[in-house]
Structure 1
Amino acid sequence: MFGPKIRNVFKSRWHALFWSASMLLTAYCSVPSPGEGGDANDAAQLAGTLAAHADKQPPAHRNPWALDKPAN
């Protein structure tokens, strides 16, 4: 795919360290910081949506593998 073949990466310790450092750098550069990208309107809309659904109870858990018992 992209970059070196995986069997060539781990032939030496330095290649493995360079590869792992490049993966960490990619992850660091691709995740936005908490203050970036959002504005107050988005946060207010999310808060309103969460408040509207706060009073609703989630459905009770039902085991999908359990046999259904006939109602008497």
Structure 2
Amino acid sequence: MLRPRLNTVFASRWKAVLWSVSILLFALRMVPSAEETKASKARAVQVDPWALDKPGTE
């Protein structure tokens, strides 16, 4: 895995700030939002294709 050495990252304050901002942005991109988790749970419900009464069709 490619990663910078800590001596070079924290050699200046600006490099340390940029490094920490990049880590925070990476974390924000990886964590799903509340709407995404609700939608994925709704899609995860499996419907029996052979059932006579299908949910959602009235």
TM-score over 0.5 (shorter chain): yes
Q: Indicate the percent of aligned positions where both proteins have the same amino acid.
A: 44
TM-score, normalised via structure 1 length: 0.50
Q: What is the Cα deviation at residue 41 of structure 1?
A: 6.2
When Rg is computed on C-alpha atoms for both structures, the one with the higher figure is 1
Give every structure 1 segment of 4 or more consecutive aligned residues whose post-TM-superposition deviation is greater than 2 Å.
39-43
Q: What is the Cα deviation at residue 42 of structure 1?
A: 4.7
| Higher RCO (C-alpha under 8 Å, 6+ residues apart) | 2
TM-score, normalised via structure 2 length: 0.60
Gaps of 5+ in 2: 46-58
3-state SS of 2:20 partner: helix
> In 2, distance between residues paired with 1:10 and 1:20?
10
